[in-house]
Amino acid sequence: MIQSTLCYMENDRGQYLMLHRVKKEHDANRDKWIGVGGKFEDGESPEECVLREVREETGLTLTDYRYRGLVTFVSDRWETEYMHLFTASGFSGTLRECDEGVLEWIGKAELLALPQWEGDRIFLRLLDTDEPFFSLKLRYEGETLRQAVLNGRELEVGT
């Protein structure tokens, strides 16, 4: 299984820093818009991983961040992944180019029109409504979300 982090960094204009994954050819997230993050290195805590990944991908250092939830991805194509989800409202440094895609500040309302995983829309809603710490399981067949379970309760998903 894979352990990873994902961070939605918000600026004072109500925008998230999003990564448009267009630079890697064989990328499970190819052409999708996602937050910033990546896989754990041996011995890292979720907080250490998110701090390192944000710094590596953006050049920015998180100064105010919050651990928001655990998202379990189950897929018929990829290894199971446990993603530790964070938001951040404080950071310092200078934004730099990312070798995994294009970084862009996007308004929260505009996110819905961008190509994303269907399950990402679920946890973005949870972040937007400031839900307390949550556990979300997302089961995919290919790129189709077949099941979503929030804190042990099944949610209705599209067919």
Domain that residue 134 falls in: 2-155
Tell me if residue 95 falls in helix, strand or coil.
coil
CATH number at residue 17: 3.90.79.10
**How would you write the pLDDT of the chain (159 residues) with one tens digit per residue?**
999 999 999 999 999 999 986 556 665 656 788 899 999 999 999 999 999 999 999 999 999 999 999 999 999 998 999 999 999 999 999 999 988 788 999 999 898 889 888 999 999 999 999 999 999 999 999 989 999 999 999 999 864
Q: Is the pTM of this model over 0.85?
A: yes
| 106 CB-near residues (< 8 Å, 6+ apart) | 15, 16, 18, 33, 114
Tally of domains within the chain: 1
| 4 CB-near residues (< 8 Å, 6+ apart) | 37, 38, 39, 40, 49, 81, 82, 83, 84
**What number of other Cβ atoms are within 10 A of residue 91's Cβ?**
21
